[in-house]
Structure 1
Amino acid sequence: MLLNRLCKAIVHTTSLRLLGASSSLSLRRSFALYCMRNSRKTVLPITSSFLTRCRNYSDESESQSDYVKLPPLTDDKPLVYPSFFKSLRSFIQVFFVIKPYLDMDFVMNEFLEGAKQALHTVSHKLATEDYEGLEGLVTQDMINILRNKISMLSSEQKALIATQPDDIYAMFPYEVGVMFDNNNAEQKFVEITVVYYVMKGLKKLKENPQEISMPIGMNPQLRRNAFVCNYRFIREFTKGVESAWTVNKINHFMPDNL
């Protein structure tokens, strides 16, 4: 079952940290004016008890009236699990293309820290429909797509989009790509797709684990608080061009809906 597989996939994200150490300084500068610089960094341990609860997941359907569901924000294919081959290719792109030829200071862990703050900032602006505040952070094409989709959501559904950094249970770079313009060999771009596992209210849950009275898959409150987010970042690395990371693809969805 999906939620059970999702929990198992969290374990595999640890190996993906080998891709490097952290987001380039330009990503942090790009979001510096928008992000919460003083937010406390938390380590999110993966405990055996959490995985045990996931194994007991039940796919017994719940009535639509039981809780508010967030439909996927876009029609893009939902990305949930790591891909071994894409991870291997990403490793090669980072250490044998990006670092030696495009940005010797690039470190994946730093990038992911900036990506975490980007999720917090962008998701809150989407939840409040502050599209002007997204200019420079998200491409205009993506803003237009999200505007049309979010306009059809209820206020309760819009509120589900907002994500706190402490809600992120795990995250990993799903794919790293280096692109060249066919008409201009000097023009280079890097795209990095990030997958986030989110549990709303995770901080409070970790502080009060005794509140979990049943396995996570059978606990309606926990099931309705589980989300996955897909963000794709792009930056131009053409020599002599000053560029910053922006988001050109966004999706939020609930595993329980897939």
Structure 2
Amino acid sequence: MALPMIRGCYRFPLTVSFSRLVLNERIILNRSVKTRLSPSSAAGVAVAVRPYSSDREGKKQTQKVVMVGIPNPFIWFRTRIYYFLIRAYFDKEFSIEEFTEGAKQAFSHVSRLLSQCQFDALDGLVEKDLIGKLEEKCNLLPLSHKKALSADPEEIMYTVPGDVGIYYDDNGRKFVSILMRFWYLTSARLPDETMEGTRIFQVAIGGEEEAETKRLLTAIYEFQREFTKGVPPEWIITRIEHSKLLD
């Protein structure tokens, strides 16, 4: 089974409706909110916008949550060179924008399977040796942590490509690997003492009495594809890390 990364596949809307956002127990209304990521985390400048609109007292209001990544100039320049090499020598139709969108959907799909412990369904999506390691780790997790593994497409707040690798093995087989970083919200109830360093958001839908607390978690997935002649054009996940959950 091929990863949901082929052009035209898994094109879901990625919008979230928020009527109120509380960051660090402080209510923020009617203005954009920017969360800065560390310089080492982002490979390039990227902005994820989540619009919200509602009719209140006959007036339409719009609110945005914006997350801005600070670029690492060296990584940004290096990855652009690799994108050019991929298009020039491996896939002339390669687009990092389309790849990122497909990777986002693959991340959501695979993380949901992990959360539900459906390890057999990961065959063809995740490297076989990695599936066994993930099964061992997931079986030791409490239910709350398993739930937190799942990233709904609408809760993925920020996605950015990381390192890119092009290499050959001893048999002359050609490979390309792309590391992707994801930031997503979860409503899973996680103990504070084990989630130190994560950001806590409180989302109120309709009113304060309906407030729901969410955490901003991170995950790293590495995608690899073999470009040797005659090999099916499929990407497979070779690395999975969920910070504070599957380190």
The equivalent residue for 1:149 is: 137
The equivalent residue for 1:164 is: 152
The CA distance in 2 between the partners of 1:106 and 1:87, in whole Å, is 17
The CA distance in 2 between the partners of 1:26 and 1:133, in whole Å, is 12
Instruction: Give secondary structure in 2 for the equivalent of 1:160.
Output: helix
Residue 236 (str. 1) matches residue 226 (str. 2): yes
The CA distance in 2 between the partners of 1:93 and 1:164, in whole Å, is 30
Q: Relative to structure 1, is the Cα distance of residues 87 and 48 closer, same or farther in structure 2, using a 3 angstrom cutoff?
A: farther
Displacement of 1:26 in angstroms is 7.8
Q: Relative to structure 1, is the Cα distance of residues 31 and 110 closer, same or farther in structure 2, using a 3 angstrom cutoff?
A: closer
Displacement of 1:39 in angstroms is 2.7
Give the TM-score normalised by structure 2: 0.65
CA offsets 1:144-189 (integer angstroms, 9 cap, x no match): 11111111111121111111011111111011111112x233x210
Q: Relative to structure 1, is the Cα distance of residues 234 and 31 closer, same or farther in structure 2, using a 3 angstrom cutoff?
A: farther
Matched letter for residue 169 of structure 1: M
Which gives a bigger RCO, structure 1 or 2 (Cα 8 Å, sep 6+)? 1
**Number of aligned pairs?**
188
2:74 corresponds, among 76, 79, 85, to 85
The CA distance in 2 between the partners of 1:110 and 1:227, in whole Å, is 24
Q: Relative to structure 1, is the Cα distance of residues 49 and 154 closer, same or farther in structure 2, using a 3 angstrom cutoff?
A: same
The CA distance in 2 between the partners of 1:151 and 1:188, in whole Å, is 35
Give the TM-score normalised by structure 1: 0.63
The CA distance in 1 between the partners of 2:155 and 2:163, in whole Å, is 23
Structure 2: 5+ residue stretches without partners: 18-29, 44-71, 188-201
CA offsets 1:71-100 (integer angstroms, 9 cap, x no match): xxxxxxxx84434322221110111x1101
Q: Which has the higher strand share?
A: 2
Matched letter for residue 99 of structure 1: R
The equivalent residue for 1:40 is: 13
Cα RMSD, aligned residues only: 3.5
The equivalent residue for 2:239 is: 249
> Identity, % of aligned pairs?
31
Matched letter for residue 157 of structure 1: H
Residue 173 (str. 1) matches residue 173 (str. 2): no
